[in-house]
């Protein structure tokens, strides 16, 4: 791995360069001060989505969801658990497909919830349907070379 990674701030869209050795030390955006790898699910707008999926050096798992979708709402706490487990080496984010239908169409989303794993500008894998945290973590680990993490509780 290189000495630093590029990460897009979900709050302001700024690209940040973070030393790999500092990923677990709660790095913050140099512009707005928002946390970059704190294990929380980031809520993306269209610009941050496009920039992060194209440019980020860490794997990014995006949950494409909508507020009217029952399975999406039911999976939200499980997705949050997975985010805590996978941090700081994988970031998890969500995009509201109702607010951003053009991105949903461009990404080829046919049903929600839909999870797409991106890494260094390309789609790595997809997973459809609501899943428990353990399935989400296993999915990410099976498609990335991440350090080992404790099991999901």
* pTM of the predicted model as reported, rounded to 2 decimal places: 0.92
pLDDT at 66: 97
pLDDT band at residue 145, thresholds of 50, 70 and 90? Answer: confident
CATH number, span 38-143: 3.40.30.10
Q: Tens of pLDDT along 5-35?
A: 999 999 999 999 999 999 999 899 999 999 9
The dihedrals phi and psi of 6, each to the nearest 5 degrees, come to -90, 135
User: Which residues fall within 8 angstroms of residue 107, CB to CB, at 6 or more apart?
Assistant: 64, 114, 116
pLDDT digits (tens, 9 = 90+) for 64-122: 999 999 999 999 999 999 999 999 999 999 999 999 999 999 999 999 999 999 999 99
The three-state secondary structure class of 11 is coil
Catalogue the active-site residues: 69, 72
The full set of domain ranges for the chain reads 38-143
């Amino acid at each position: 791995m290189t000495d630093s990674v590029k990460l897009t701030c979900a709050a302001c869209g700024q690209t940040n360069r973070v030393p790999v050795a500092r990923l677990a030390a709660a790095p913050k955006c140099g512009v707005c001060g928002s946390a970059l790898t704190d294990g929380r699910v980031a809520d993306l707008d269209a610009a941050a989505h496009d920039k992060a999926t194209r440019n980020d050096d860490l794997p990014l798992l995006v949950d494409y969801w909508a507020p009217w979708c029952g399975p999406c709402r039911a999976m939200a706490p499980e997705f949050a658990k997975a985010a805590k487990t996978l941090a700081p080496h994988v970031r998890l984010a969500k995009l509201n497909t109702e607010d951003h239908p053009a991105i949903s169409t461009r990404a080829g989303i046919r049903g929600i919830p839909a999870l797409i794993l991106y890494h260094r500008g390309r789609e790595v894998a997809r997973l459809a349907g609501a899943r428990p945290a353990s399935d989400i973590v296993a999915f990410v680990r099976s498609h990335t070379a991440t350090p080992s993490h404790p099991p999901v509780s």
